[in-house]
Amino acid sequence: MADATETRKTPRAKAFDLRRQPGFAAAAWACIIFLYAPIVVLIVFSFNDNRSVVRWTEFSLRWYTEAFANEGIQKATWMSLKVAFVATALATTFATMAALATTRVARFRGQGIVFAIINQPLMIPEIVTAVATLSFFSLIKQATGWQGVGFLMLAHTVFCIPFAFLPIRARLQDMTITLEQAAADLYATPWAAFRRVTLPLMAPGILAGATLAFVVSLDDVIITLMIAGPGETTLPIYILGQIRRGITPEINAVSTLLLGLSLLLVSLTFLLGRKRSRA
């Protein structure tokens, strides 16, 4: 309980205590356990010797060796990550800009419509978007001769925007602009005021939005299935193809590796960040 010790040190000890709501910590821990229980099972089964993902026999690294030898599964994993990164970056940027334009200003005409347009990709069942986008992209492909993974990235960007937009907008709402005013009063250029004041204030919202966009892109099945061209199979599509013929723990092995990789990356950035802040 790091915060407890910290509490004693700060003069605002009373306030810190007040932050606690009874039962909230317990609920949060229950939530974490709930989220991780299937993940633990998944990791355990990646070391299962059996071909089945539902019956345990004995410990083995077999599925890791197979995953390393399986070019198809590796290509699909990289394709998933590539599409998710590009879509997340674009969607988060666009969503941040749009959130800035729609919050903390007087209501402008057409705000409702703007809101509806940005949320449109959320509102229509994926399969319909998928089929209709397929028709639309096919027309473009015919007219221009363009091919490539850009179409898939674009489609992902579109449905990621609302997922990034809503948390960022929620963050910005009710946020006062006194600090920006102060910055402007101190002759900060608009860009400097934005970079030094607004952006840090928005950061938690942007992080939340980007995370959601990334997760949504990484999990998408139906739109990807329809839009993807040759060589653009993502991991979910690869897994979908296995359902009828039986899913093997190879997928668990890849999932475990992905979890490990993300854990490693985040720990690194966390440690680096701590070092920098200490220095």
Partner 1 sequence: MADRITDTRTTRQPASDALAGARAARDSAAKRTRVFLLAPAILTIGIVGLMPLSIALVYSFLEPGTYGGVTWAFSTDAYVQFLFDRDIFDDSLTFSTSYLSIFWRSAFLAIITTIGALLIGFPTAYFIATKPPAQRNLWLFLVTLPFWTNLLIRTYAMLLIIRDEGFINITLQMIGLTSGPIEMLYTDGAVFLGLIYSFLPFMVLPLYASLEKLDFRLVEAAHDLYAGRVQVLRRVILPMARPGMIAGCILVFIPCLGAYITPELLGGGKKLMIGNMIALQFGGSRNWPFGSAAALILMAMVLIVLLIVNRSRADAEVSHG
Partner 2 sequence: MKKVTIGLSVLALSAVAGLPALAAGKLNIYNWGNYTSPEMIEKFEAEHDIEVTLDGYDSNETMLAKVKEGNTGYDIVVPGDYMIKIMIEQDLLAEVKPNEMENFANVDPNWVDVWWDPGRNYSIPYQWGTTSFTVDTEVFTGDINTLELLFNPPEELQGRINMLNDMNDVINAGLRYLGYGRCNGNVDELREVTELLVEAKQHWRTMDYSTIEKLTSGDVDLSQNWNGAAMRARAQRPSLQYAYPKEGFTGWMDNVAVLKDAPNMENAKLFINFMMDPENAAMTSNFARYANGIKGSEAFMDPEMLEAPEILMPADAPAPDFVKPCPQEVVDLYNKIWTRLKQ
Q: List residues binding partner 2 (CB under 8 A).
A: 50-55, 70-72, 86, 89-90, 93, 131, 134-135, 138, 141-142, 145-151, 153-154, 157, 199, 225-226, 228-233, 237-238, 240-247
Q: Which of 93, 141, 149, 241 binds partner 1 (CB under 8 A)?
A: 93
Q: Mark the segment that binds partner 1 (CB under 8 A) among 61-69, 142-150, 201-209.
A: 201-209
What is the per-residue binding string for partner 1 in 14-53, x denoting contact by CB under 8 A? xx--xxxxxxxx-xx-xxx-xxxxxx-xx--x-------x
Within 13 A of 201's CA, how many CA atoms are on the CB side? 19
Cα 228 → chain centroid: 20
245 binds, among partner 1, partner 2, none (CB under 5 to 8 A by kind): partner 2
Minimum separation from the CB atom of position 70 to partner 1 (A): 16
Report d(CA 111, CA 265) in Å as an integer.
Answer: 39
Nearer to partner 2, 109 or 245 (CB): 245
Question: Per 3-state DSSP, what percentage of the chain is helix, strand, and coil (rounded to 5)?
Answer: 80, 0, 20
d(CA 63, CA 133): 37
Which listed residue (62, 64, 165, 248) binds partner 1 by CB under 8 A? 165
Cβ atoms of residues 154 and 204 within 8 Å: no
What angle separates helix 71-102 from helix 250-278, to the nearest 10 degrees? Answer: 50
**Per rule CB under 8 A, is residue 149 in the interface with partner 1?**
no
Of 73, 79, 83, 193, the one binding partner 1 (CB under 8 A) is 193
Question: Following CA atoms 272, 262, 83, 86 in sequence, which dihedral angle do they give, to the nearest 10 degrees?
Answer: -20
**Dihedral (Cα; 48, 52, 55, 56), 10-degree rounding:** -10
Residue 72 touches which member of partner 2, partner 1, none, C-beta under 5-8 Å by kind: partner 2
Binding mask 100-119 toward partner 1 (x if CB under 8 A, else -) reads: xxx-xxxxx--xx-xxxxxx
Which C-beta is closer to partner 2: that of 30 or that of 131? 131
Residue 187's SS3 state is coil
What tokens were used for 46? 């990646």
Among 67, 73, 158, 228, binds partner 1 (CB under 8 A): 158
CA distance 102 to 164: 14
